[in-house]
Structure 1
């Protein structure tokens, strides 16, 4: 007689489940080896090789068990606006989670500039308005404790919010307004800030000046050389003597900065990277022109240089978008209205 007891069934089911998990883990490790995170990120982000390598290395340590599992992984992204900080956070979430909508949490810290707005962050305590609704962050973290959480423009947050974040980074847990604790040690927290962005940009421009001159001489008409960026590194001395004092003066607490695993620096685009941005933006509108109007857009090399010249250090890639809108989309719109596609900027049309 066969005994179909609960114990016997468990003995037969568990080994198969364990073998499946081991097999799945080996497949994921093999996929990471063949298609590393750096390569995935570079498919979506132009330039910022130093930032990509720093983030990928930290996540690789986490994936392979070479990290302190008692604390979550915490990044601080520094650099000018429109330079790829938010996009890199999104791509990390896409890599870590199949369901990006659930696995990526974005908090605009400019909404938490006042002391009373802390309640929106973790929820109001009992007896206060909004207690039953809970906090914006706690609700989302409870639904996905291992999410990639982006704290955008963290330098604008009230100091009391930073105190809550310190507990979150240090202990990997967060207590909401209802007194319930959320364990989120497996989450990845990314903060972005424009603090010291001018200092970083000017230092990077000094380092890049000589390299950029070399890059310009090497560029060829076939644009294949444009795909190569200029890899420069911020010196340790600059980080310690210039950037860290600025961060300490702004955040006013060493323990907060001490819980950051990696401070990641985003640098101004080189000329070759600007050309890539221009090509990407022109290709986007060329596709739209073909789909919407059955019009084929073409351009010569001087057009790329002209549009790249509209780069603004403070607005990053957004300034390239604005330049293309002004010099391409506006004339195209007017020409479409008058049914006359003929103007001087794009001579190869």
Structure 2
């Protein structure tokens, strides 16, 4: 299990983000092989838009490090620690205060697993007093709870995520991709490899220093806090080929469900992937693809099923409709349609009645 290089393990679960995966895997490899400062825990800051794989990567690291991922992965939602008094929830109340016996959320879990992977989600939302506690944690590798007990956690891995500067990173990445594409167009791409390579981009040191660092400084207002971070990891918006992979993965997930639950086989053509990939929204990342598939594909499947249009064990094909000449001229957006594939491989379009709009229902009495 542990023999596989970590990179390969992570890439099985995460689409794109090669730069992020390599940075994290290299740091963990150093730690595992004893090439690190054992006085301090390993601290990462994951930057990038929502729904782009930050939390997922933290989860997969915990899976790799721990057999029992329930204990080995501690997730703290930092938007719950926006007020000064919520520090008590974090490390526990001092003696004599309400809730003293319960202990803090973090200290309780770290006691059980001092070498856990701890995810501080949306760390930019935490109150400055909570950051002070985190600084002690990163700096000394120990945490004192409300009862005055010290928990040693030098072997833990701390991962913070933040959307701070995510627009700047996304914008910069898109710019770099456009430049790379123009370059390959100029080369007239003698072979396809050239074109493919243009999608792999790296963020320059200059951009990190001149654009990102000032934003982080202005937000966290502490050099020593930023100084304790071993690696700042950048997550980039998906490129076209990654979007196609995401749509594919999502459709395969629903095809598997259709097969298991209803013995229905679902097929699709390449143009379907292209059409669904257009639903990508840079601010919502992979979640926007998930919603697009649910909205345009799963809704149709559910309606067809409800209207008893799907015979048991049937085969359905998803195709793109609306590409006829008249429709193109009329500017109609192409839509997805479901077809029933017969035994003779001929397919016929399913006539799915659209669900009633709430307005129509109101007048139907």
Alignment partner, residue 117 of structure 1 = 86
The CA deviation at 1:340 is 2.3
Alignment partner, residue 37 of structure 2 = 68
Alignment partner, residue 175 of structure 1 = 144
Counterpart-to-counterpart distance in 2, 1:277 and 1:315: 13
Alignment partner, residue 260 of structure 2 = 291
Alignment partner, residue 316 of structure 1 = 285
Alignment partner, residue 78 of structure 1 = 47
**Alignment check: 8 A CA contact 1:229 1:273 kept:** no
The CA deviation at 1:211 is 4.1
Counterpart-to-counterpart distance in 1, 2:84 and 2:63: 33
Give the gaps of 5 or more residues in structure 1. 1-27, 219-226
Counterpart-to-counterpart distance in 2, 1:328 and 1:160: 47
Q: Does 2:278 match 1:277?
A: no
**Alignment check: 8 A CA contact 1:300 1:346 kept:** no
Give 1:1-349 correspondences, 5 Å limit: 32=3, 35-211=4-180, 230-340=199-309, 344=321, 345-346=336-337
Q: Which has the higher contact order (CA 8 A, sep 6+)?
A: 1
Q: Secondary structure at the match of 1:297?
A: strand
**Alignment check: 8 A CA contact 1:298 1:348 kept:** no
Whose strand fraction is larger, Structure 1's or Structure 2's? 2
Counterpart-to-counterpart distance in 2, 1:43 and 1:346: 31
> Which digits, 9 at most, give the CA deviation of each residue in 1:29-64, with x for residues without a partner?
xx54xx211111001000000000000000011011
Q: Secondary structure at the match of 1:190?
A: strand
Q: Secondary structure at the match of 1:199?
A: helix
The CA deviation at 1:229 is 9.2
TM-score, normalised relative to structure 2: 0.81
**Alignment check: 8 A CA contact 1:77 1:85 kept:** yes
Residue 74 to residue 80, structure 1, CA distance change in 2 (3 Å):
same
Alignment root-mean-square deviation, CA: 2.1
**Alignment check: 8 A CA contact 1:146 1:186 kept:** yes
Counterpart-to-counterpart distance in 2, 1:212 and 1:265: 21
Alignment partner, residue 332 of structure 2 = none
> Which digits, 9 at most, give the CA deviation of each residue in 1:10-45, with x for residues without a partner?
xxxxxxxxxxxxxxxxxx9xx54xx21111100100
Counterpart-to-counterpart distance in 2, 1:348 and 1:208: 37
TM-score, normalised relative to structure 1: 0.85
